Amino acid sequence: MISQFIGQTEAAMLHFSSSLLAEIELKIKKKQIISQHQAIKYAKRQIELFVKQLHLRKGLTAVYQSELYIYVSKKLAHLFKRYRILHCL
């Protein structure tokens, strides 16, 4: 339904970000990810791989990667508070 109003790439990005957040939350629940650093590193790597497979120009790739990271990191902050994830200073 939403793909009728936005482009195919943007719809794929929305789907990817929500599935990535669900995957990270599941990994936190299963204690596969125990620190914020692990979660952020995992998210960055997954975002890089996703954007790379879109086969876009370098400038657009950088923008999409940055936007996805900003969106996911804001949502991760809520997960960190909810599950009281270890934070190293």
**Collapsed DSSP state (helix, strand, coil) of residue 35:** strand
Residue whose entry in the numeric block shows the structure tokens 């950088």: 62
Domain boundaries defined on the chain = 2-83
Question: Are the C-beta atoms of residues 28 and 85 closer than 8 Å to each other?
Answer: yes
pLDDT, the chain, mean: 92
48: tokens are 């890089």
Single pTM value for the model: 0.90
Q: What is the pLDDT of residues 69-89, one digit of tens each?
A: 999 999 999 999 998 888 876
